[in-house]
Amino acid sequence: MAYEGKVRGAGPVRDRGQVAIEYLGFIPILILVAMAGVQIGLIAYTAQQAGTAARAGARAASLEKSAQAGCTTAVSDWLSVACSAAQGGDEVTVTATIGIPSVVPGWDFGDANKTATMPLDH
Protein backbone atom coordinates (compact mmCIF):
# COMPACT_ATOMS: atom_id res chain seq x y z
CA MET A 1 0.00 0.00 0.00
CA ALA A 2 1.40 3.34 -1.01
CA TYR A 3 1.52 6.37 1.28
CA GLU A 4 -0.96 9.02 0.08
CA GLY A 5 0.15 11.96 2.24
CA LYS A 6 -2.81 11.93 4.63
CA VAL A 7 -2.59 11.76 8.39
CA ARG A 8 -4.85 9.11 9.77
CA GLY A 9 -8.07 10.61 11.25
CA ALA A 10 -7.63 14.03 9.68
CA GLY A 11 -10.32 15.27 7.31
CA PRO A 12 -9.76 17.16 4.12
CA VAL A 13 -8.19 20.59 4.44
CA ARG A 14 -11.31 22.34 3.09
CA ASP A 15 -13.30 21.38 6.25
CA ARG A 16 -11.26 23.67 8.44
CA GLY A 17 -13.29 26.57 9.87
CA GLN A 18 -16.64 24.84 9.39
CA VAL A 19 -17.47 25.07 13.09
CA ALA A 20 -16.66 28.79 13.13
CA ILE A 21 -19.01 29.40 10.19
CA GLU A 22 -21.79 27.38 11.86
CA TYR A 23 -21.29 29.37 15.07
CA LEU A 24 -21.51 32.66 13.17
CA GLY A 25 -24.78 31.51 11.67
CA PHE A 26 -26.16 30.69 15.11
CA ILE A 27 -25.21 34.03 16.74
CA PRO A 28 -28.26 35.96 15.39
CA ILE A 29 -30.56 33.34 16.92
CA LEU A 30 -28.79 33.65 20.27
CA ILE A 31 -29.07 37.45 20.16
CA LEU A 32 -32.79 37.23 19.30
CA VAL A 33 -33.45 34.86 22.22
CA ALA A 34 -31.49 37.12 24.60
CA MET A 35 -33.41 40.21 23.46
CA ALA A 36 -36.72 38.38 23.89
CA GLY A 37 -35.71 37.43 27.44
CA VAL A 38 -34.78 41.02 28.28
CA GLN A 39 -38.06 42.28 26.78
CA ILE A 40 -40.12 39.81 28.84
CA GLY A 41 -38.27 40.97 31.94
CA LEU A 42 -39.03 44.62 31.10
CA ILE A 43 -42.72 43.83 30.63
CA ALA A 44 -42.90 42.06 34.01
CA TYR A 45 -40.93 44.81 35.77
CA THR A 46 -43.14 47.54 34.29
CA ALA A 47 -46.30 45.72 35.38
CA GLN A 48 -44.90 45.36 38.90
CA GLN A 49 -43.99 49.06 38.98
CA ALA A 50 -47.51 50.02 37.79
CA GLY A 51 -49.01 48.02 40.68
CA THR A 52 -46.70 49.69 43.16
CA ALA A 53 -47.54 53.12 41.74
CA ALA A 54 -51.29 52.45 41.92
CA ARG A 55 -51.09 51.40 45.58
CA ALA A 56 -48.90 54.38 46.51
CA GLY A 57 -51.17 56.77 44.62
CA ALA A 58 -54.28 55.33 46.29
CA ARG A 59 -52.62 55.62 49.69
CA ALA A 60 -51.74 59.28 49.02
CA ALA A 61 -55.22 60.07 47.68
CA SER A 62 -56.85 58.42 50.70
CA LEU A 63 -54.92 60.88 52.87
CA GLU A 64 -56.15 63.74 50.64
CA LYS A 65 -52.76 64.27 49.00
CA SER A 66 -51.84 64.20 45.31
CA ALA A 67 -52.29 60.76 43.76
CA GLN A 68 -49.88 61.67 40.93
CA ALA A 69 -47.14 62.65 43.40
CA GLY A 70 -47.63 59.37 45.27
CA CYS A 71 -47.42 57.41 42.02
CA THR A 72 -44.35 59.25 40.77
CA THR A 73 -42.32 58.74 43.93
CA ALA A 74 -43.09 55.02 43.96
CA VAL A 75 -41.62 54.10 40.56
CA SER A 76 -38.10 54.03 39.14
CA ASP A 77 -36.82 57.35 37.82
CA TRP A 78 -36.43 56.06 34.24
CA LEU A 79 -40.15 55.18 33.98
CA SER A 80 -42.86 57.79 33.53
CA VAL A 81 -46.21 57.16 35.17
CA ALA A 82 -49.63 58.74 34.77
CA CYS A 83 -52.19 58.30 37.55
CA SER A 84 -55.86 59.09 37.66
CA ALA A 85 -57.91 59.08 40.87
CA ALA A 86 -61.66 58.64 41.25
CA GLN A 87 -63.56 58.92 44.52
CA GLY A 88 -66.68 56.94 45.19
CA GLY A 89 -68.33 56.96 48.59
CA ASP A 90 -65.79 56.20 51.29
CA GLU A 91 -63.01 54.99 49.01
CA VAL A 92 -60.68 56.21 46.31
CA THR A 93 -59.55 54.25 43.24
CA VAL A 94 -56.31 55.10 41.45
CA THR A 95 -55.25 53.74 38.07
CA ALA A 96 -51.55 53.89 37.18
CA THR A 97 -50.42 53.72 33.56
CA ILE A 98 -46.80 53.16 32.54
CA GLY A 99 -45.57 52.75 28.96
CA ILE A 100 -43.66 49.49 28.52
CA PRO A 101 -40.11 50.21 27.31
CA SER A 102 -38.93 48.35 24.21
CA VAL A 103 -35.53 46.78 23.62
CA VAL A 104 -35.99 47.13 19.85
CA PRO A 105 -36.75 50.68 18.70
CA GLY A 106 -40.02 50.94 16.83
CA TRP A 107 -41.76 48.04 18.58
CA ASP A 108 -44.64 49.15 20.77
CA PHE A 109 -45.77 46.90 23.61
CA GLY A 110 -48.45 49.29 24.87
CA ASP A 111 -49.01 50.29 28.48
CA ALA A 112 -49.13 48.52 31.81
CA ASN A 113 -52.27 49.53 33.70
CA LYS A 114 -52.92 48.66 37.34
CA THR A 115 -55.66 49.80 39.69
CA ALA A 116 -55.76 50.03 43.49
CA THR A 117 -58.56 51.02 45.85
CA MET A 118 -58.14 52.34 49.40
CA PRO A 119 -60.64 53.58 51.99
CA LEU A 120 -60.65 57.33 52.62
CA ASP A 121 -59.05 58.39 55.88
CA HIS A 122 -61.48 60.78 57.56
Examine the pLDDT at 10 and tell me if it is beyond 60. Answer: no
- Rounded Cα distance between 70 and 49, Å, is 13
**Using one digit for the tens of pLDDT, what is the confidence trace for 101-110?**
999 888 899 9
Share of the chain above pLDDT 70, in %: 87
Q: What are the boundaries of each domain within the chain?
A: 13-119
Count the neighbouring beta carbons within 10 Å of the beta carbon of residue 61: 27
Radius of gyration of the chain (CA): 28
